[in-house]
Amino acid sequence: MLDFRYHALSLVAVFLALGIGIVLGTTLGDSVVSQANKDVRSSLRGDLLDALSRARNATNELTERDRFETAAFPYIAGNKLRGQRVAIVSSGALPQEIENSARNAVKDAGGTVDSVSQVDARPDAVGLANSLGGRFKTLAADPTQVQQLARRMGRALVAGGKLPRHLQTKFPDSFKGDYRGADAVVYYRTNDSRDTGAKTFESAMIEGLRSNGVPVVGAERSETDPSQISYYVNAGLSTVDDIDIPPGRIALVLTLSGRRGDFGFKKTAEAPLPPGP
């Protein structure tokens, strides 16, 4: 990536050259101006080529770093999730790249993704309760019990059982997997421009996820904007802000296996990775 300060200086140099050309044109004649312009163009061309060369070198260094970190994954995080089942839960739309990054990290660490659940960012709690039927209809009749419904959902998405199977039947596009019980949870949310009712539902659902005592990790990509890390921290979750790159996938595995903290490269992170044992 070009240094924009360098780019700005180059533009200044161009305008300076034009100014010099105007002055020289009125005093020294066309031949001197022509030679001055050639010299300036040659100098600027050399500077540009040098900048492009440095950008290529930086790109190559990043590529080599990613290769090293990918190769280091098995030594740091290999088998950390051996035999473990992990649930992915999203409040709002779940981007494919988030799901893929989480799946690949869990798989490479010896675990399996047990289920993927996507809850509407602004859920219709009454309609949801009515769709589930049975004892959940009583919750639909009393909106003040929305938190109870959300907590039950959170607990069920981790513990498995009848409720998630009901959800699969009623909402097959949003609830997928075996729901045999999860040993850890990857949690993702879209941006937080939500009404009070939606925020109340989400907070209660996270409480339900955490109530089973398993690690729940709030995750996002390094380019996520606005970042949701502060929300995750306030909700009591460990966080990883860069699961799209090798260090983030390592941090995700380590936090899913029980490490606590906030990891990545954003200003909210404590460190790129959890400290060693």
User: What is the average pLDDT score of the chain?
Assistant: 83
Predicted confidence at residue 51, as pLDDT, reads 74
Let me know if 228 is exposed, middle or buried by CB neighbors in 10 A (0-12, 13-18, 19+).
buried
Predicted confidence at residue 154, as pLDDT, reads 96
**Contact at 8 Å (CB) between 242 and 264?**
yes
User: Is the per-residue pLDDT at 259 higher than 70?
Assistant: yes
Q: pLDDT, tens digit, for every residue of 117-171? A: 999 988 887 788 777 777 676 665 566 678 888 999 999 999 998 899 889 998 9
Predicted confidence at residue 114, as pLDDT, reads 95
In this prediction, what percent of the chain has a pLDDT beyond 70?
75
Q: Return the axis-axis angle of helices 30-77 and 4-27, rounded to nearest 10°.
A: 180
212 or 61: which leads in pLDDT: 212
Report angle CA 29, 41, 5 to the nearest 5 degrees. 125
**Contact at 8 Å (CB) between 208 and 153?**
yes
User: Is the per-residue pLDDT at 24 higher than 70?
Assistant: no
Residue length of the chain: 277
Q: Supply 157's token pair.
A: 């998405």
Amino acid found at 238: S
If DSSP codes are grouped into helix, strand and coil, which group holds residue 269?
coil
Predicted confidence at residue 2, as pLDDT, reads 41
User: Is the per-residue pLDDT at 3 higher than 50?
Assistant: no
Q: Looking at mean pLDDT, say which of 9-18, 111-120, 156-165 comes out highest.
A: 111-120
pLDDT tier at 178, thresholds 50, 70, 90: very high
**Contact at 8 Å (CB) between 191 and 226?**
yes
**Contact at 8 Å (CB) between 189 and 202?**
yes
